[in-house]
């Protein structure tokens, strides 16, 4: 559904001049090439390789996030 709504609104944004084609075209080509290459490479990787390459960046990102605020137990401030 997100792809359908994005495709429907893309024409409107282009016609209004909100999206410069000079920037949008290379981005679209990069996404297309990246998805095709990724699909071919993914078919030849082991499950463990995929898990490790996804796990470490996610763990690193989680360390950069701020710690959650303490929960107020009493209800008074």
* Tens digit of pLDDT at every position of the chain (77 positions): 668 888 888 888 888 989 888 998 999 899 999 999 999 998 999 999 888 888 888 888 888 888 776 666 665 55
Amino acid 26: pLDDT:
93
**Both ends of the chain: CA-CA distance in Å?**
44
- How far, in Å, CA of 8 to CA of 4, rounded? 6
Amino acid 10: pLDDT:
84
Domain map of the chain by residue range? 20-63
Amino acid 75: pLDDT:
57
């Amino acid at each position: 559904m997100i792809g359908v709504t994005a495709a429907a609104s893309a024409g409107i944004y282009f016609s209004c001049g909100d999206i410069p084609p000079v920037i949008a075209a290379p981005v679209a080509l990069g996404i297309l090439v990246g998805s095709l290459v990724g699909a071919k490479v993914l078919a030849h990787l082991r499950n463990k390789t995929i898990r490790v390459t996804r796990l470490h960046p996610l763990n690193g990102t989680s360390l950069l996030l701020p710690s959650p605020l303490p929960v107020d137990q009493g209800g008074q401030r």
